[in-house]
Amino acid sequence: MALALDLSGRTALVTGSSQGIGLAIATALARAGARVAVNGRRAGALEEAADAVTSAAPGAEVLQVVADLSTGEGAEGALRQVPEVDVLVNNLGVFGPADPFAIDDATWERYFQVNVMSAVRMLRAHLPRMVERGWGRAVTIASDSAVVVPAEMIHYGVTKTALLGVTRGFAKAVAGTGVTVNTVLAGPTHTPGVEQFVEDLVGADGSWEERQHRFVLEHRPQSLVQRLLEPDEIASAVVYLCSDLASATTGGAVRADGGYVDSILP
C-alpha cells in the first residue's frame, strides 16, 4: 500500500528556507501539494528559492516572506505577511565552530535569538490559530548536536538541546487539539555551509568525497551510515510528520541522524 502524503489545501511556512535543508523541505512540501511560504532576510535569495521550488514542483504556489525572525519585529512582520498557516517548519539556524572559551556573551545571545527564540516566536504565534481550526503541524529542526554536544561548537549544541524542551512544552500546551508538535534530530547534512565547516576542520586537500569521508571518520565516527546526509533525506521525514499519517506522533524528537546518536531511544 502506497503512503499518501497529501498536503493539498494546506499552507506551510518554512523558516530559513532560501537554501540547504530549508529549501529541500519547502520543495518536498510543495511536491506534496502544499502552498509554501519560503522565508529569509534577503529578497533576492528568496526569489531564487521560489524559482527552485516551482521548477521542482510545477504549478506550486510559493510565497516569499522577507523577515528576520531573530527579532520580535521581524517575527511580527512575517505574521503580517502570512497570518495563517496549517504547517510550520522551524528550520532557521546558524552554526559554526568556535573555541568554547572564546565564545563571548554577544555570540551566545545571537545563537539563542536565531536558533531558539525564532522558533518560540513562530510557535507562540501560529499554534493558537491551528488549535482554533482543530488541525496543525509544527516541526522544528534540531540536530544530533542537541544530544551529543560537539566540543567545537557547544553554543550551537546547547541551543538545539533547548529546542527539544521547547517542542515538548508546546506539545503539552496543545494536547488533545488535533495539533502535533515535533522535533527532527537531523544528522550531519551536506549543505553549502557544511562544506565550509568540513573544510575548516579537515582542510581543503583532496576531493569533496575525500574530505567528507575524512570528516566523518575523524569527527563523527558514531555515524552508522558513515557519510553526510542529503537535505532531501531530512525533508522526507519532515513531510511525513506534517501529514495526516503522523497524527499519533507528537511531543517527540524524531531521529533522521543516520544512526549518529548512540541510543536505542529517540
What is the three-class DSSP state of 175? coil
105 burial (CB, 10 Å; 0-12 / 13-18 / 19+) is exposed
Percentages (nearest 5) of helix, strand, coil residues in the chain: 50, 15, 35
260 is catalytic: no
Cα–Cα distance, 79 to 99 (Å, whole number):
37
d(CA 173, CA 223): 34
Catalytic residue among 111, 156, 240, 260: 156
Pairing of strands 87-90, 35-40: unpaired
Q: Which residues are catalytic?
A: 156
